[in-house]
Amino acid sequence: MSKYGFGGGIDLPKKAAAKPRPEIEAESVEKALQAGSELGFVSREPSTRLKPGPKRKERQDKVSIPGPKRVVDEFRAFCSSRNLTLWQGLELLLSQEEGRGR
């Protein structure tokens, strides 16, 4: 006996030789892809990697401002509706504030 109290173990059945896969016709694959797309299935293939953006001309920094979700969502919607990045939206709001008297 081994130190764990088990005997010689059990004999597992021998594995059967793997059967070769049948060839799949390209036409049937195309039909399956077409049917899937008609049902709304989308490809799970990774999207192509985007090239890095333009080189930054100014020094960069980060700001993290916790706040109510409704306010953050409204700011993100503001930037999205104007096709602005978050920093561009902040810059726009700051420039509008500078025009007002303090």
Encode pLDDT of 57-66 as tens digits. Answer: 888 888 898 9
Q: What is the pLDDT of residues 21-35, one digit of tens each?
A: 888 888 988 998 889
- Best CA proximity match to 53, nearest among 82, 85, 80, 81: 85
Check if the beta carbon of residue 86 is closer than 8 Å to that of residue 72: no
Global confidence as pTM: 0.43
Q: What is the pLDDT of residues 59-99, one digit of tens each?
A: 888 889 899 999 999 999 999 999 999 999 999 999 998 77
CA torsion, ordered 42, 43, 44, 49, to nearest 10 deg: -120
C-alpha span between 77 and 89 (Å, rounded):
10
